Every structure is written in C-alpha cells, then in structure tokens.
Amino acid sequence: MTYALLEGQSAVSVLKYGLMKKVAILANTRIPGVNEAKARIEQTLRRHRLTIEKESGKNTDLLITLGGDGTLLKGVHTLKSDSTLIFGLKFGQVGFLTNPADRLEEKIEKILAGRYRVSRRMLLQARVEREGKLVGEDFCLNEVVLNRSGIRIVEFRVRQGEEDLLRVRADAIILATPTGSTAHALAAGGPVIYPEEQLILLVPVCAYATAARPAVLPATSKLELTVNANCSLAMDGQRECQVTPGDKLLVRQASRQVGLVFEEGGSFFHRLNEKFGWPL
C-alpha cells in the first residue's frame, strides 16, 4: 500500500489518510448522472464496510462531492473538522478544483488504498462589525467579494492597522486566496498564484484609477475595509450579507485549512492548460 507523502508530514499523519472509516457524500442531484454515480460510489464504500454518513461530522474522514466547483465549495462550508479531506468529482460545467468523473469505482478504490495526493489550502476569515458589534462572520476557500449594491460606483478603503493600502472608487473589491486566484480574481485581471502558497490577493474590479492594480499581500495581513455606500458581501459565492457605510469588514487568514484530494499524477499547471489553455 502506498501513501501520498506531502512535504512536512510525518509517516504517522500520512498513514491515517489511508485508513478511511467514515465517508460523507454531497451530491448536486439536479445534474444528470449524479444520482447513478452516487449509488455506485455508495456500493463501493459498503463493499469495504465503510460508514456512509448523511453529512460531514467531526469524525468524518472523507467528503466526496459530486457536481462542479460550486458543490465542492458548498462542501467546504459544511466541514466540522480540518482533518476531513474533500474529494471532488466533476459533473458540472466548472471543475478546476475537482477530478474527472470517469472510472468512478477505480478512483474510490485508489483513495481507500491511500493512492492520492492531498493539497493543503489556506482559508480566509471575514467578519463584519457594525457599531462595535459582530453582525456576520464566515470563512472561504476562494474569495471574499465586496460588491456595490446599487448603480453608483463605490469608494472602497483598505487599511492594515494605521496604514492605508488602497483607496479607490470601483465596482467591487476581491480578496482571494491562492486557490481563488484562478476563480473570480482571474476573471477580474488578477495573477495566477500557485494554490498551496500562503498569500492574500487584492483585486480592484473596474477601478476608476488606472494605477489601481492587483496586489499580492502577506498571509499575515489583517485587513480592514470600509465603504461609502451599501454593498453586498459574498463568500465563495455561497454566503451573502450586507455591508453599509460605517461598517468594518475585517479579513485575515483563517486559523484552519482544508485538504483537497487529487488523483495521482498531473499537476496544477496541467489543469491550467486543460481548463484555460495555459501554454505548456
């Protein structure tokens, strides 16, 4: 039996990845073929006498998602433990974070045998404070997007401590993880960042200032954002709340991480080539 050895991991921590006992499945059943695939996966898991849980819990070893990247992101937000790994299978239109859904039984067998790669990814934590009181808090794998709610352009101010980092009129501001650099941030003109790095990407969207460009900040940055008009705050496209003038949006690296499971072989740049035509 082989195990996916990651840099900095001990043999003991790697071994536990090959000893799956409890598995949960999150399926987007609106997509054709997902129900059938889910039944086949459950059959394979039962054959190995694994416990199939209705949802991810504190002791879940693996969460399998069937859908697109949106389904995987939804799965991330259901996790109760950092030790739970996520294996995404692509059935949707977007699947940069997921694996091809062919040879289902074979892929599940390989995971149960420990033949896979684990990619640890940083998360962002965001909280909204209004008059000194917490009104919303969440975390994300891809990005925090602060977007104007009305038709008028918004002035965004980004600070770290007493230092102004950016003050710009724009349609939106994106704060992305390296994982999220290939999502909304990339569409807004941001750079591609290797996903296992520890960085925060700041991307103004349609800024009314030609000098306002994407910036890569240390993961240790503790950012405070304010606005002069009503805005909508979205986390991974999964959670949403309102930010009003006078509110403070506080964004920093989360204390937790998430482990994404990928098949053996392949690489981040091969996925870039497959999805976006990255020249190799």
Residue among 24, 17, 131, 134 nearest 74 (CA):
24
CA separation for the pair 247, 188 (Å, rounded): 25
What sections of 48-173 are H helices per DSSP? 69-76, 104-112
Distance CA 261, CA 185 (A): 23
The residue annotated as part of the active site, out of 69, 138, 236, 247, is 69
Exposure pattern of 56-65 as b/e (b: 16+ CB <10 Å)?
beeebbbbbb
Rounded Cα gap, residues 120 and 123, in angstroms: 10
Length of the chain (residues) = 280
- C-alpha 227/C-alpha 222 separation (Å) is 17
Instruction: Give the contacts of 7 (CB within 8 A, at least 6 positions apart).
Output: none
The yes-or-no answer on residue 69 being catalytic is yes
Kindly list the catalytic residues.
69
